[in-house]
Amino acid sequence: MSRPPRLLLTTVFGPYGIRDEYAEALGMQMELFNNQITREQGVHSPRTNFWTFPLYFLAENLSSVFTTVLDFPTWEDFVRELENEYTHVGISFIQPNVLKAKRMARYIRNHYAQTKIILGGYGTILPDLKKIVPCDEICRGEGVNWLREYFGEDPREPIRHPIMHGVAQKRIYGFRDIIDDSAVIFPGLGCTNGCFFCSTSHKFDNRYIPLLPSGESVFDVCHKAEELLGVDGFAIIDENFLKMPDRARDLLAMMERYRRPYSFAIFSSAETIAEVGVDFLLRLGVCLVWIGVESERCPFSKTGGINVSSLIGELQAKGITVISSSILFLEQHDRVSIEQEIEWAIALGSDLHQFMQLIPFPGTPLYSKYVSEGKMIPDFPYAKLHGQDELAFYHPHFTSKEAREITRRAFRKKYNADGPGVLNMALTAIRGYQRAKEDTKLRERAGLCWNPPALRYERSATYQPDEFMNLRLEKMRERALEFRPLLLSARLFSPNKASRNKASRVATLYNKVFRRPTLRERARSFTLVCLAFIEWSRIQLRRLVSRRDMVRQPSTRRVCYSPCSPTFCEGKSLNSLQPLPTAISGSRSVSQ
Ligand code: SF4
């Protein structure tokens, strides 16, 4: 009789961000911010790792298979875990980690020949993957349906969304708990915009696959997370969340009905924001938005006809942090125009900016074009396919290796021009709070109410005070205050005089909007300066001794999901939920 299936879902092994025979250091830190947003900002750079959320999502949605999720294992953790007699091991990886996946798969083949190996994640787009990594199956698209069918379960079963924090480890100036915790929401996969370079869009055939199709389903997850984890902020992992505007409208309606002013960090393209308007984003509780502005020279339909500079300005003026991102080394770029693009991106004045090199990922129209034109560099190492180092293709004006220095300089320029990203975020938060207070008063005086179908404030014959906006204002106030203790460190470790002056101006604005800092707040600021100094020394020492930028490795997490067990979430029972609007569906047993 065959054994019941036991599945291990694992990420690739650490350490991360360290160059060895399996992976690179630059661009591979498992730290989104320090890797490619606040790169070159030294001690000001938030050091954050995110849990590998899709693995928990997959585990949660298998009902008949004992499943373990192993997140950020060391090699020793991985080897030890295999002793638990798994029938199947799923390895999730991105392209630059393919050699780590290879080592893991080989080890399984050599020591557990009966165990089936399943590969998943963005690494599966590599055309010669089967030749590199020994495996039995490759899951290339949406994984829940795939795994359910593979294990003989019904793919039409409702989707269960795990309730969990998104951040594995977070430090700002070396301090752990400076910004409030948030949970993660995974409403859907893919994007219909189909930008020519975009791996995400083309991996899912330019389709959007909703996992949480309605505003109500998103609200349910928020409510559970609030009850179980005590959070009211959420990172929405969806390439273009507002592309389904009705879902977002319904989510707002639910929050208004139940007086829950949750806040969200989202990804959105510019045309989608323009469609729904910044006032809607603010009311919805978007506190951070990542927008791909891509390029001034190369036209994209998502930015066509939109003044991205004023859109970003309006978002920030209303208190919404903007991460913009642009692409370097497009075909249109030569030595002059690439500098102009960098200047343009910096002049947008976003709080944070990602410079990403053009990467022809397999599966995209860009890749097909470059292959047919013979532009791809033969045998370019996949480990370097991360967009922060060398180019994987022949560019008419730049050598592959030059790209590294130009990219590094772009980050440096942004840092020198605008100062630390966290300082910009503080400025946006305080200005936004100030403005939102004034706007709310003005609307009250003018008798304007929120009109949901029109997505704007309008004069109404049945005027009611805007209770929900007052709740939202309180959240904005709390968010602005979270940044306050950072200001002294931002000033003392400033890269230049302009940045120091900016930090002083922001501190003055805080004093004006709130009051002068209390003794407790001052003590917190000074503690942070001490920690920042320790962190700064640690970074310098690490660079001196090992030329590495990794300060800490994320710790390993192991979560087991048993079929047919009572419901738990990060150690708490879903049964403890206070009843709110709709039936809350169950969740599988989780133990750590
Ligand atoms: S808008 Fe963003 S997610 Fe959508 S296809 Fe373009 S780059 Fe990809």
Report, as an integer, the average pLDDT of 88-94: 97
The closest-lying atom of ligand 1 relative to the alpha carbon of residue 191 is: 4
* pLDDT above 60 for 367: yes
Using the mean position of ligand 1's atoms as its centre, give its distance from the Cα of residue 360 in Å. Answer: 14
Residue identifier of the C-alpha nearest atom 6 of ligand 1: 195
Residue identifier of the C-alpha nearest atom 8 of ligand 1: 198
Name the pLDDT band for 550 (thresholds 50, 70, 90): confident
* pLDDT above 70 for 579: no
Residue identifier of the C-alpha nearest atom 3 of ligand 1: 239
Q: Which of 203, 204, 137 is nearest to 361 (CA)?
A: 203
Using the mean position of ligand 1's atoms as its centre, give its distance from the Cα of residue 406 in Å. Answer: 24
The closest-lying atom of ligand 1 relative to the alpha carbon of residue 292 is: 2
Fold of the domain spanning 6-33+51-157+556-591: Rossmann fold (3.40.50)
The closest-lying atom of ligand 1 relative to the alpha carbon of residue 194 is: 5
Give the number of C-alpha atoms closer than 13 A to the C-alpha of residue 428, restricted to the C-beta side.
27
Percent of the chain with pLDDT over 70: 94
pLDDT for the residue numbered 401: 82
pLDDT for the residue numbered 28: 78
Using the mean position of ligand 1's atoms as its centre, give its distance from the Cα of residue 195 in Å. Answer: 6
Find out whether 555 and 74 touch, Cβ atoms under 8 Å. Answer: no
Name the pLDDT band for 45 (thresholds 50, 70, 90): very high
Find out whether 46 and 54 touch, Cβ atoms under 8 Å. Answer: no
**Ligand 1 pocket list (CB less than 6 A):** 191, 193-195, 198, 200-201, 239-240, 269, 292, 302
User: In whole angstroms, how far apart are CA 81 and each of 94, 439, 508, 559?
Assistant: 22, 56, 54, 12
Phi, psi for 78 (deg, rounded to 5): -65, -50
* pLDDT above 60 for 409: yes
The closest-lying atom of ligand 1 relative to the alpha carbon of residue 198 is: 8
Report, as an integer, the average pLDDT of 171-195: 89
Domain extents in the chain: 6-33+51-157+556-591, 423-546
The closest-lying atom of ligand 1 relative to the alpha carbon of residue 239 is: 3
* pLDDT above 50 for 566: no
pTM: 0.93
Is residue 564 left, alpha or beta, with left meaning phi > 0 and alpha meaning psi from -120 to 50?
left
Using the mean position of ligand 1's atoms as its centre, give its distance from the Cα of residue 54 in Å. Answer: 19
pLDDT for the residue numbered 400: 84
Name the pLDDT band for 131 (thresholds 50, 70, 90): very high
Using CA atoms, how far apart are residues 228 and 259, in angstroms rounded to an integer?
Answer: 18
Place of tokens 């350490």: 15
As a whole number, the mean pLDDT across the chain is 92
Name the pLDDT band for 277 (thresholds 50, 70, 90): very high
Using the mean position of ligand 1's atoms as its centre, give its distance from the Cα of residue 421 in Å. Answer: 24
Place of tokens 């020591």: 111
Using the mean position of ligand 1's atoms as its centre, give its distance from the Cα of residue 381 in Å. Answer: 25
Q: Which of 222, 234, 230 is nearest to 580 (CA)?
A: 222
The closest-lying atom of ligand 1 relative to the alpha carbon of residue 200 is: 8
pLDDT tens readout for residues 474-507? 999 999 999 999 999 999 999 999 999 999 999 9
pLDDT tens readout for residues 296-349? 988 899 999 999 999 999 999 999 999 999 999 999 999 999 999 999 999 999
Place of tokens 């300005």: 313
* pLDDT above 50 for 573: no
pLDDT for the residue numbered 592: 47
Is residue 283 left, alpha or beta, with left meaning phi > 0 and alpha meaning psi from -120 to 50?
alpha
Q: Which of 324, 326, 327, 369 is nearest to 351 (CA)?
A: 324
Percent of the chain with pLDDT over 90: 83
Using the mean position of ligand 1's atoms as its centre, give its distance from the Cα of residue 94 in Å. Answer: 18
Using the mean position of ligand 1's atoms as its centre, give its distance from the Cα of residue 240 in Å. Answer: 7
Task: Choose the residue to mutate in 196, 198, 306, 330 for probing ligand 1, maximizing ligand atoms within 8 Å of C-beta.
Answer: 198
The closest-lying atom of ligand 1 relative to the alpha carbon of residue 197 is: 7
Using the mean position of ligand 1's atoms as its centre, give its distance from the Cα of residue 269 in Å. Answer: 7
Name the pLDDT band for 562 (thresholds 50, 70, 90): confident
Name the pLDDT band for 565 (thresholds 50, 70, 90): low
Tell me which H or E stretch contains 354: strand 352-357
